């Protein structure tokens, strides 16, 4: 879920390593390999294509599954706390550009 950055909140501590977006001991995952429009959830890191990502120069996190055509997406360009992030067809929009502090 998207949430306004608060600085030192442990709930907002992410790292990108080995193609995984990691929070604690879990990975950002395309829930049940649902494809475009499906929610991104935290799940046990398995190394499956639905929890492996690349981070390109535009700032997009591109999911390895489905031929690399899906990106981490903030639907509707929402800035509201609690917005469920999804994977969606890569469009190079601002709602798909991400950076880690």
Confidence of residue 4 (pLDDT cuts 50, 70, 90): confident
Between β-strands 15-17 and 86-89, what pairing exists: parallel, antiparallel or unpaired?
unpaired
CATH number, domain 13-96:
2.80.10.50
- Residue in 13, 29, 98 with CA at minimum distance from that of residue 63: 29
Q: Which tokens sit at 31?
A: 């829930």
The pLDDT of residue 101 is 59
List the strands of the sheet with 61-63, edge to edge: 53-55, 61-63, 70-73, 86-89
The pLDDT of residue 52 is 97
Confidence of residue 3 (pLDDT cuts 50, 70, 90): confident
């Amino acid at each position: 879920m998207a949430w306004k950055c608060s600085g030192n909140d442990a709930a907002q501590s992410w790292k990108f390593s080995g193609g995984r977006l990691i929070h604690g001991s879990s990975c950002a995952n395309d829930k049940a390999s649902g494809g475009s429009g499906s929610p991104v959830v935290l799940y046990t890191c398995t190394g499956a294509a639905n929890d492996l990502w690349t981070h390109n120069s535009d700032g997009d996190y591109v999911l390895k599954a489905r031929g690399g055509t899906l990106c981490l997406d903030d639907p509707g360009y929402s800035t509201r706390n609690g917005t469920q992030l999804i994977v969606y067809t890569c469009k190079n929009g601002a709602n798909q550009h991400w950076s880690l502090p």
